[in-house]
Amino acid sequence: MQTLRGTKFAIFLGLFPALIIYLGIAIVPIGLSLYYSLMNWNGIGSMSFAGLDNYVKILSDDTFWLSVKNNVIIMVTGLVGQIPLGLLLALLLNRGLKGSGIFRTIGFMPVVISSVMVSLIWGMVYNTEYGFLNSLLGMIGLDGWQQNWLGDSKWSMLSISIAYIWQNCGLYMVIFLAALQNIPEEVNEAAELDGATGLKRTLRITIPMVRGTIMVGVVYSISNSFRVFDLIQILTGGGPAHQTEVMTIYMYNSAFINMRYGYGSAVSILVLLFSLIVISLINRLGREKDA
Amino acid sequence: MNKTNKGKKAVILGLVALLAIFTAACGKGDNASSKGGSETETITLNMMHPWTSPNVDNEVYKARIAEFEKQHPNIVIKQDGVPSAQYKTKLRTLAAGNNLPDINVVWPGADLDPLVDGNLLEPINDLMESWTSILPESALAGFNVDGKQYAVPTKQTFVDIIYYNKEMFAQIGYDTFPDTYDKFIDAVKKLKEAGITPISLGNKEQWPLQSSYISIIGDRFTGSDFLPAVLEKKAKFTDPEFVKALSVIDELTKLGAFNTDANNMDSVQGQDYFIQGKAAMHISSSTVDARVRINNDEGDKFGIALFPSVEGGKGEPAKSAGVVQYGIAIKSGLNEKKRAAAEEFLKFFVSEDLYKELIRNGVVVPAKVDVPEDASKYLKEMLELTGNGTAPVFDSVIPTQVVDVLQNGLQALTVKHGTPEELAKEVQEAFDNMN
Amino acid sequence: MRRKSGLFQFFAYTFLSLFAIINIVPLFWMVVNSFKKEQEYAADPFSFPKVLQFSNYAKAWEVANMNVYFLNSLIVTFVSLLVTVLLGALAAYFLSRFKFKLQGMTYGLFLLGMLVPIHATLIPIFLIMQKLHLLDTYWSLILPYTAFHLSLTVFILEGFMRGFPKDLEESGVMDGAGVYRIFWSIILPITRPALATVIILNFIYNWNEYLFALVLITSTELKTLPLGLANFVGIETASLTLQMAALTIALIPILIFYLLLQKQLVNGMTAGAVKG
């Protein structure tokens, strides 16, 4: 900021403590992972240099690409589901309706409860024989629509995505709600004078005002979708036969179950790389619109 | 302005208070750990175990540790109870840092090998006389690498017990459990016709089909020498006998023998499904008997059996697939005092008294000890059923990477992907790629 | 002031109520089951308990070792949260309101921590803590929690602060206030809704964190609540009703914390402007 020619020293002092913890505890492990990814190592005992062998093997493994595909499904459905729904809820709850506080609390509940519980709940919803969903469909006479929601590969990823959206939607609601607070009252008043009300005002004025935060939400949603683990691990374990496996589960199985730690580290570097690519693409798109 | 200043002060005060609590709590931790070095010569041994859940056998183990501490006031066992699902993850992380606790609970065979390769465990050959009289050779073999013994087991698990609902079998005209594979398949078909789910399976974690099914079905077809022969490259997974074993899963799937949700239910949910009377059979380990019959008011409804004989099979039809569990091992490189204390603990902990106490609580043990009169009738039945020879459990012999391929392939068969022949080929390839 | 048509209200409430039901039913179900006997649950997970098993809660408290773990969780959660939010807000302030060399790179670096799968860092973090001789101390959890959540904290707060009007600091500069003074008395107050957001998120993530706590802590005296909550599942056995009772207990602090903070969440610039 030009107005504040803050001294270099003040900036350094402000960033230093955060950076030192962050570099030491978060960046060094990433560096170590990169190092292990070039090694042949079972996690115990001696390691040997493998060069890019691990990467070559991973990229030629069909199961890995299946997990990439599943991550992309989670990412897209997450973006399409969480962001608009979160925004809609935030907009509604920002209008000072009676009972907003209660809805705000209830809407946030799924974020708060642990993944173990979320998976238990959705396991009950999707159960073929006595689950909520199939019972409901049976009750309204749509027996033909009943499916093996988690076991049938046609439906399993979609079913997981819905549970995933349910779990995280409230998070984006809260982030957007916070952003809406920072729209100055004058802006709304000015809009009212111009005759912009209701939907028009929301679309033309409110949403553009929180665009920056929407971008924050988008990037966060992408980064989360590449790191999803607990929900799927407990809901389906990545099965049947890898059908719902995502990259993090693939990584975990390689490193901790099959004891190929070098290989697993290489997967995690690829996860990082993929999300970085997607996010920079999105950011570029966002910037272009800005200009 | 004044108001905000007050607010700030409150915040800072709160921060200071929190830091104070925090440092105080930290200090407490330090005191506890420095106690070991005081003049009373107390020796502290760290022990990691997966006995956190409120089961009968876990209670027995903990009571045994407490008893040891009572009798040895100069030795403190500092326990780290790790939830069993993540026990191996923690063990492997600690192993990566060469930082195992002094006393560990380890699994036999393929799980043990890397720890031995990394020289992380101390051989206990010198202590073996304490157990040779009560533990059979077979119970120790899994923890023996190249003639060195690294652990002694506390518990025996038979992984292939078929629990069946007597009423449902009576309904289709079977008063006893079918003793041949053909009759077994006939029963499955009749159950299906009667509108009963024949077998309840919870295969989400993937091991049940491999461990509880293929271990014993494989043995019936190939005989018990097969898996060791594969390891020595004298046999292959693509041999027709093993392919036939895999075909059983395929056949059962095609008959619709399993519940629809088999792949998204875990093993406990699979048990519940059976206990709720929604299926006629459930194949699982002897440990599960606690939930199915021993602690169940309606336990008498259920019977136990082994997988029937198969035509032309090379295996012994009376054998049950068993594995020893919870090997207690000592970390390598302990100083003399600690090592002596650890050995003392090992001798005390794994002993005839422990085995007797476990049996009294309905747990099957690997040792040859007399069954007390007051043991549960279900346990006696279980011991009789499983007492006619032991077949190896697949994943206690075969390396994990190969097991992983088999497990995923079996899951694929249950959703009608792939064929037994293809799966056998994949498993063999995974094995060949290892070396 | 705002005109709201009846129709709009009708649809808004219908939508919100539907949403609320979908969110609350599972929780209700969890609480109901937490009062059942294990056998009752195994027989039918959807039934109501014949007798309320309050003893489940006592037993759950004991199995999860909550006497000890509860306080540990509170300490680790709050200390990490305070450090993270304080340092994160400061970093976000400099990253969003100033121009300096390596700014882009610093920001990118902070983003990186949000992208790495947590399992991949498990062994490296363990080795680092071993080197620092911090294994099995509160610090072995506080440091990773702080480091990894700094990413998210900086990222969200930077996004907010960047959006503030550019002339915001001017009055402060005219008064001759230094950069830290401006941070404290101008920027922080209007960042309150975003601060509340990251505080809540940090609280939840720290409170529920499991993996690091699993491998880095071995002493019972230092373990945290999520480890206790996993105590109910054995290899082939589980006590699900007890686990649900424990999960219900563990939920209470987060709920209280959220309820306390949610006023701040909707108390932003408008309120701040009036006070100022």
| Per-residue model confidence as pLDDT tens digits over A171-204 | 999 999 888 887 777 777 777 777 666 777 777 7
Report the pLDDT value the prediction gives residue A5, as an integer from 0 to 100.
54
Residue of A nearest to C8 (CA): A198
Judged by phi (left if over 0) then psi (alpha if -120 to 50, else beta), residue A65 lies in: alpha
- Mean pLDDT, rounded, for B249-269: 90
DSSP, collapsed to helix, strand or coil, labels residue A95 as coil
pLDDT in the model for residue B2: 45
Q: How many CB pairs under 8 A join A and B?
A: 85
CATH 3.40.190.10 boundaries in chain B: 43-157+323-379, 161-322+393-434
Spell out the CATH class of B161-322+393-434.
alpha beta
What range defines the domain where residue A198 resides?
Answer: 55-290
**Residue C51, Cβ neighbours under 10 Å: how many?**
9
pTM (whole model) above 0.90: no
pLDDT digit string, tens, across residues B388-402: 888 999 988 898 889
pLDDT at A147 over 90: no
Res. B167: pLDDT tops 90: yes
Which comes out higher in pLDDT, residue B24 or B346?
Answer: B346
pLDDT of residue A197: 66
Measured CA to CA in angstroms, residue C184 lies from B316, B432, C264 at distances of: 79, 65, 17
Are the Cβ atoms of C115 and A275 closer than 8 angstroms? yes
Cα separation of A12 and A19, whole Å? 10
Q: Are B211 and B394 contacting, i.e. CB atoms less than 8 angstroms apart? A: yes
Name the domain count of chain A: 1
The pLDDT assigned to A204 comes to 76
A44, A237, A242: residue with CB nearest B204 = A237
| Nearest chain C CA: its distance from A75 CA (Å) | 13
Closest Cα in chain C, distance from residue A138 (Å): 17
pLDDT value of residue A196: 64
Given a cut of 70, whether residue B289 has pLDDT beyond it is yes
Chains contacting C (3+ CB pairs below 8 angstroms):
A, B
% pLDDT > 70, chain A? 95
pLDDT band at A2 (very low <50, low <70, confident <90, very high): very low
pLDDT tens string B416-431:
889 999 999 999 999 9
Residue C273 pLDDT? 40
Instruction: Indicate whether A223 belongs to any domain.
Output: yes
Q: Is A45 on the interface with B (CB under 8 A)?
A: yes
Give the integer Cα–Cα distance in Å for B403 and A44: 20
Any idea which of A38-52, B122-136, B230-244, C257-271 has the lowest mean pLDDT? C257-271
Q: Tally the C-alpha atoms within 13 A of residue C118's C-alpha that lie toward its C-beta.
A: 18
Nearest to C257 by CA among C222, C189, C207, C194: C207
Tokens of A7: 């001294």
pLDDT at A6 (0 to 100): 53
Partner residue facing B18 (CB), from C42, C79, C233: C79
Set out the domains of chain C in order of their start, with CATH numbers: 66-275 (1.10.3720.10)
Judged by average pLDDT, the poorest of B149-158, B208-217, B265-274 is: B265-274
Residue with tokens 């921060």: B15
Nearest C-alpha neighbor of B283 from the set B308, B254, B300: B308
Do residues C154 and C92 make contact, with C-beta atoms less than 8 angstroms apart? Answer: yes
Predicted confidence at residue A256, as pLDDT, reads 85
Class for the domain spanning B43-157+323-379: alpha beta
What confidence tens digit (pLDDT) does each residue in B323-369 have?
888 999 999 999 999 999 999 999 999 999 999 888 888 888 888 88
> Is C200 close to A2, i.e. CB distance below 8 A?
no
**Who has greater pLDDT, A148 or B22?**
A148
Per the CB < 8 A criterion, the answer to whether A174 and C200 are in contact is: yes
Rounded to an integer, the average pLDDT of B218-223 is 94
With CB atoms and an 8 Å threshold, state whether A44 touches B264.
no
Cβ contact B261–A235 (<8 Å): no
Q: Which of A289, A283, A282, A253 is nearest to A268 (CA)?
A: A253
| DSSP designation for B127 | G
Contact A257 B400 (CB under 8 A): yes
Q: What angle do CA A144, A148, A154 make, to 5 degrees?
A: 95
Euclidean distance between CA atoms B273 and C107, whole angstroms: 52
B14: pLDDT confidence band, cut at 50, 70 and 90?
A: low
**Helix (H), strand (E) counts: chain C:** 15, 0
Question: Per-residue pLDDT for A124 more than 70?
Answer: yes
Give yes or no for A195 touching C (CB within 8 A): no
pLDDT of residue C236: 62
Query: What is the rounded end-to-end Cα distance, in angstroms, of chain A?
Result: 19
Tell whether the model's pLDDT for residue C174 goes beyond 70: yes
Question: Quick check: B69 pLDDT over 70?
Answer: yes
Q: Is the pLDDT of residue B131 over 50?
A: yes
Q: Cα-flanking dihedrals φ and ψ of residue A24, to 5°?
A: -65, -40
Q: Are B401 and A260 a contacting pair at CB < 8 A? A: yes
Q: Are C35 and C56 in contact (CB under 8 A)?
A: yes
Q: Are A133 and A157 in contact (CB under 8 A)?
A: no
CA–CA gap between residue A63 and residue A61 (Å, rounded): 5
Angstrom CA distances, B66 to B61, B71, C42, stand at 9, 9, 33
Q: What is the CATH number of the domain that holds A116?
A: 1.10.3720.10
Nearest to C66 by CA among C223, C256, C253: C223
* Residue A13 maps to a domain: no
Q: At residue B398, what are phi and psi to the nearest 5 degrees?
A: -90, 140
Verify whether the Cβ–Cβ distance B263 to A43 is below 8 Å: no
What ipTM was predicted for this assembly? 0.85
| A positions 17-76 inside 8 Å of C (CB) | 17-19, 21-30, 32-33, 36, 43
Q: Which of A279, B169, B76, A158 is nearest to C155 (CA)?
A: A279
B40 — contact with chain A (CB < 8 Å)? no
Report yes or no: A185 at the C interface, CB cutoff 8 Å: yes
Chain C residues in contact with A248 by the CB 8 A cut-off are 117, 119
Stronger pLDDT, C15 or B21, i.e. the higher one: C15
Instruction: With a cut of 90, say whether residue A56 has pLDDT above it.
Output: yes
Confidence check: pLDDT of C208 > 60: yes
Q: Closest partner residue to B83 among C82, C123, C231, by Cβ?
A: C231
Instruction: Say yes or no to pLDDT of C203 above 70.
Output: yes
